[in-house]
Amino acid sequence: MPLMLCFLLSCKQSTKPDVTAISVNAKIERFDKDVFAGKGKDVNQTADFLQKKYGTFYNDYINRIVGDGSYSAPQILSTLYKDQAYTDLNKEAEAAFANMTAIESDLSQSFQYIKYYYPKSNTPRFISFVSGFAVQTPIGDDYLGIGLDMFMGKDSKFYKGIVESVPVYISRRFSPEYVVPRLTETFAREELFPEQDKDRTLLSKMIHNGKILYFMDQVLQEELPDSLKIGYTTKQMEWCKTYESDIWAFFLENNLLFETDYQKIQVYLSEGPFTPGLGDKNESAPKLGVWMGWQMVRKYMQENKSVTLQQLMAEGDAQAILTGSRYKPK
């Protein structure tokens, strides 16, 4: 029995390629700690130190993330150090992320897979920071940022205080388990597969988003729940599976697939507490166009075993993917 169990486990693990020979060490640089360590010290020396150590990211942090270029770096730092909320936020972020070894391990593995599929891709520097909820995962020329104050755990007292600007349906995902999925998604969307301007129909946007999520299927840990990839609750995931054929019928009956009016189609692609027009008592999942695109792409890859991940991601014809998927949920 144990031998059979081991055999089954090894079969499951072999569904992803062996990437052990690919060297990626995703060490997260703690900019948040280095900034906070400067409190009470010479602010000009701290500014110089941060500039030399963090370069491009530091410039973006000062001029785009917490500032807008109107004030110098020492002025920005001085303002932060005088702000008690900034101090409190740093302390909570430090408590939530006292040890980042597990996150670094998962991040390293994901970028090993990315390197496997796209050897010419450059693994960025990973830099953590606190910005007062300005941005979650900014990407620059050589870095991918991690806004720790937007991953501290859905029950953080701070999120209750910003509910007007960041609603609960968004902040409930501000938890540590979302760090690696969101970084991977940002890198895929911004660095590897930016959306093309010509993709204006709802179908093309559904397929583009579906390809991003399918890519995440391939490079994230196998046991990672789909809910963490797309940001759904368990209940929302179940709703989608239960009503998949009804959702598809809705898109077809309302001639939405080839609609290009952004105002009409964005409700099926955007974040929200639910998708307007679908489901009773606002129980539907949000961004149903994204979820449906994911199912289409998965079905396409099931039906076309010879198609590689690289070929899928390079395919610019959304209609070809829909046709080739034979997608007809029942």
Domain boundary among 162, 192, 222: 192
With respect to residue 13, please indicate whether it lies within any of the assigned structural domains: no
Same domain, 47 and 184: yes
Q: In the predicted model, is pLDDT for residue 12 greater than 80?
A: no
Q: In the predicted model, is pLDDT for residue 177 greater than 60?
A: yes
Q: In the predicted model, is pLDDT for residue 4 greater than 50?
A: no
Average pLDDT over the chain reads 94
Residue 144: its pLDDT value, please?
A: 98
Same domain, 117 and 265: no
Quickly state the pLDDT bin for 14 (edges 50, 70, 90).
low
Same domain, 173 and 39: yes
Same domain, 54 and 152: yes
Q: Quick one: average pLDDT of 276-303?
A: 95
Count of structural domains, the chain:
2
**pLDDT, tens digit, 9 for 90 and up, residues 124-172:** 999 999 999 999 999 999 999 999 999 999 999 999 999 999 999 999 9
Residue 197: its pLDDT value, please?
A: 85
Same domain, 127 and 266: no
C-alpha closest to that of 174 among 240, 66, 92: 92
Kindly list the distances between the CA atom of residue 282 and the CA atoms of 43, 276, 277, in Å, as whole numbers in the listed order.
51, 7, 9
Domain boundary among 192, 217, 242: 192
With respect to residue 90, please indicate whether it lies within any of the assigned structural domains: yes
Distance between CA atoms of 220 and 222, rounded to whole angstroms? 6
Distance between CA atoms of 168 and 48, rounded to whole angstroms? 38
* Radius of gyration of the chain measured on its C-alpha atoms: 22
169 touches 231 (CB < 8 A): no
How do 125-129 and 143-147 pair as beta strands?
parallel
* % residues pLDDT > 70 (the chain): 96
C-alpha closest to that of 271 among 261, 291, 286: 286
Q: Maximum distance among all alpha carbons in the chain? A: 68
Domain around 271: 202-325
**pLDDT, tens digit, 9 for 90 and up, residues 36-83:** 999 999 999 999 999 999 999 999 999 999 999 999 999 999 999 999
Main-chain phi, psi angles of 128, to 5 degrees = -95, 150
What is the number of other CB atoms lying within 10 angstroms of the CB of residue 127? 25
Q: Quick one: average pLDDT of 178-183?
A: 98
Question: How many residues in the chain?
Answer: 330
Same domain, 149 and 169: yes
Q: In the predicted model, is pLDDT for residue 10 greater than 70?
A: no
Same domain, 213 and 274: yes
C-alpha closest to that of 46 among 70, 71, 68, 78: 78
Helix pair 288-303, 202-219: axis angle to 10 deg: 70
